[in-house]
Amino acid sequence: MRETKIINQGWYFSDTATACPSTLPSDWKGLDLPHTWNGKDGQDGGNDYKRCKAFYCKEIPASELTGKENYLEFDAVNSSAEVFWNGKSLCVHHGGYSRFRVIIPCDDIKEKNILTVSADNSPNETVYPQTADFTFYGGIYRSVKLICVPETHFDLDYYGAPGITVTPELKGENADIKIQAYTKNADGTTVKFTVLDGENIVGEAQSHDGEALITINNVHLWNGRIDPHLYTLNAELVKDGEVLDNISTRFGCRTFKVDPEKGFILNGKEYPLRGVSRHQDNPDKGNALSYEDHKRDIDLILEVGANTIRLAHYQHAQEFYDLCDESGLVIWAEIPYISRHMHDAYDNTISQMTELVTQNYNHASICFWGLSNEITIAGADDPHLIKNHKDLNNLVHKLDSTRLTTIASVTMCSPDNEYVHISDVLSYNHYFGWYGGSTEMNGKWFDDFHKKYPNKPIGLSEYGCEALNWHTSNPVQGDYTEEYQSYYHEELIKQIAERPYIWATHVWNMFDFAADARAEGGENGMNHKGLVTFDRQYKKDSFYAYKAWLNPEPMVHLCSKRYIDRVEDVTKVTVYSNCNEVELFANGVSVAKQTKGKYPFFYFEVKNEGETTLEAKADGLTDTSTIRKVDTPNEDYIMKEENQVINWFEITTPTGFFSINDTIGDIMSTFKGKICMVKLLLLIKKVMSQGTKDGKAEVMGFSFGKINKSMIESMYGMVKGFTIKRCFMMLGNKFTKEQILEVNAMLNKVKKK
């Protein structure tokens, strides 16, 4: 029988060694897995985290190798791994998010063996991802296992797959369960299958070739968050009456489709997919997570009321997909084919996709396989990119005929482009109202698309906006306040709710996450678009906007609790509640009672005198906060610029003339402004080429030389809403104060229209 042992304890680690050691390097740093070496430097900004090849080493005594065949299983090693046994290379694996296995050579088992694994996250043009808005933490950051099996066993050699596939097909009240088990050295064996519903056996079959069909009568459906019912399939490999190996997997029975008009349909009923995307990393730990970390994330996602997650931008942990199956979340799973198409990484997209699909085929929660994300930033007319997508799409259909393919397209890519019509269903990432454009542009974009392509299901795969602990009574786009984020999401919720044809919507992002190259919002190294902070400790107000909209459990939430000191005499107070009536009290006196309109958002005007305790009451529930009248704005609420090179009061803004506080669009609307922009581009080119490998300017991993006219045109639509100051910030604060002030002085001489 198989024995599976987790071997996470007692490793030695070195990020300075240059080769696999020949003896146990007990002078290296001792540690336990999971581990990353980028827990700190991958989260502190500057895009300077250590990307290198490092080595992990562990002694494995012969007594541990109890099988006739012994496999090593790696749940994930980022980004490329090489496994050595007693100094000899056993395998190389490229792709940092999927599982892989390797067999230990039975003719090389000593009393004490040395297992060495190199993990390499250094730049590599043949492995995805290389350009993306998140940190590529290096390390063995998920578990390592030893699987000891007899010579005859269920397959362990095929792409890290579980050795068994289950394909339920609904037939009226019943379900036909098509089963295929894969075996090795299995001549003369029988596979015994048992389907369990809880403790009860509901179906059995025997097979000589691993194939079987079991019918479950009166099948209990997996019905999303309403009733995520799962069955278990056990498989035993039997020879001469002896069970040699056994495996088991869970599965769910459901049907789904996507209708271009009605959206997602689960088990015959409309089931609008409304949810979030998830990045997995945590403070200091990076991606080296525990089960508790995954569970905490799922609980928060369930609390917000989501019924779907886009598991971006890579394969997530098996534990996490299991939790999704159990909680009824509909999943979009994807590979990290992202941002920049690399001509030498075609094979890697194929292998990462094959692993994603084969390793996760039995998960009831997964309904969509994502082919790529914003891959056309540099343009969509590269025939190699198109071929890569067509091949991936065909590959997925061949591996799995039961699910749909999708892509997350970048805003700038034209809906007429061939690329966006390759996958079964389509999605777009839109940041109107954050990076550029206004919030209302979202709804309009979808209506235009839907009108032009009424038969193509369209989804919103990303939308969001940053918020830190900054506050204001006058939120504006780009201010990074909690109040603007709330406003933005209220607006987006209204537009989404009116468009049931949008087959899925995923907020970017459920959690703040690390992107070491970022310098935004006053805290470098982070993307702050989360509804919840990076440490999972603080739920921002917009979390509650979704909770009020999506989670039916009665709730009431007073917004802006961290915004106490206010200068105005009358202040706006926002309450989110799904109850029919909300009454607001100020120091115990009723301010007003309001009845719910179309959306669960309530707005009150409150007199701001002295200190006021606010209480929002609804359905027997109460939420409390405090406001205080002050004469001058509390500096703690204003975005800290200490990480920025320039303070707001140093920017001169003469009336009627431009400054770096103006948008690119406004500046470009005047002739002299255009000339300033050319000068600015030359400065950007100069600054961004300092310290790059080949002396060529780079912006977000794109070489300046490769930025062509069509790219500029398509990007202009988005960036024209950016202020010049924001551009400096987004370019990673690489400019000196003098340079910025010089640009400002130049703009100060240009008259506004």
Q: Which residues are catalytic?
A: 374
Token pair for residue 161? 């797959």
Instruction: Give the whole-angstrom CA distance, residue 116 versus residue 82.
Output: 8
Task: Please say which residue, 132 or 627, places its beta carbon nearer to ligand GCB.
Answer: 132
Cβ 94 to ligand GCB shortest distance, Å: 21
Which residue of the chain is nearest ligand GCB when measured via CB?
Answer: 133
307 contacts 273 by C-beta, under 8 angstroms:
yes
Cβ 297 to ligand GCB shortest distance, Å: 17
Cβ 699 to ligand GCB shortest distance, Å: 14
Instruction: List C-alpha distances in Å: 591 to 582, 584, 604.
Output: 11, 5, 8
337 contacts 128 by C-beta, under 8 angstroms:
yes
Closest Cα partner for 747 from 648, 680, 647?
680
Cβ 508 to ligand GCB shortest distance, Å: 6
Instruction: Give the whole-angstrom CA distance, residue 681 versus residue 686.
Output: 9
Task: Please say which residue, 429 or 533, places its beta carbon nearer to ligand GCB.
Answer: 429
Residue 506: which H helix or E strand, with range? strand 504-507
Cβ 79 to ligand GCB shortest distance, Å: 17
Residue 1: which H helix or E strand, with range? none
Closest Cα partner for 269 from 231, 321, 225?
225
CA torsion through residues 196, 199, 204, 210, sign? positive
Cβ 22 to ligand GCB shortest distance, Å: 42
Instruction: Give the whole-angstrom CA distance, residue 143 versus residue 156.
Output: 17
Angle formed at CA 138 by CA 298 and CA 693, multiple of 5 degrees: 130
Task: Please say which residue, 115 or 132, places its beta carbon nearer to ligand GCB.
Answer: 132
Instruction: Give the whole-angstrom CA distance, residue 513 versus residue 227.
Output: 31
Task: Please say which residue, 319 or 512, places its beta carbon nearer to ligand GCB.
Answer: 512
Instruction: Give the whole-angstrom CA distance, residue 178 versus residue 201.
Output: 17
Instruction: Give the whole-angstrom CA distance, residue 232 versus residue 178.
Output: 14
108 contacts 87 by C-beta, under 8 angstroms:
no
Token pair for residue 16? 């300075």
488 contacts 434 by C-beta, under 8 angstroms:
yes
Q: Could you give the angle at which helices 318-327 and 291-304 cross, rounded to 10 degrees?
A: 30
Q: Would you give the distance in Å from CA 751 to the centre of its chain?
A: 44
Buried b (16+ CB within 10 A) or exposed e, 394-428: ebbeebbeebbbbbbbbbbbebeeebbebbbbbbb
Instruction: Give the whole-angstrom CA distance, residue 131 versus residue 392.
Output: 20
Cβ 527 to ligand GCB shortest distance, Å: 5
Phi then psi dihedrals of residue 709, to 5 deg:
-60, -45
Closest Cα partner for 461 from 356, 375, 355?
375
697 contacts 689 by C-beta, under 8 angstroms:
yes
Question: What residues make contact with ligand GCB under the rule CB under 6 A?
Answer: 132-133, 313, 373-374, 429, 462, 508, 527, 529
Token pair for residue 242? 């002896």
Phi then psi dihedrals of residue 598, to 5 deg:
-70, -35
Angle formed at CA 532 by CA 528 and CA 536, multiple of 5 degrees: 110
- Give Cβ neighbours of residue 16 (< 8 Å, ≥ 6 apart): none
Q: In what order do the strands lie in the sheet with 570-577?
A: 556-558, 570-577, 601-607
Q: Centre a 10 Å sphere on the Cβ of residue 365 and count the other Cβ atoms it contains.
A: 27
SS3 for 272?
Answer: coil
Instruction: Give the whole-angstrom CA distance, residue 244 versus residue 149.
Output: 8
Task: Please say which residue, 393 or 461, places its beta carbon nearer to ligand GCB.
Answer: 461
Terminal alpha carbon distance of the chain = 80
Residue 395: which H helix or E strand, with range? helix 383-399
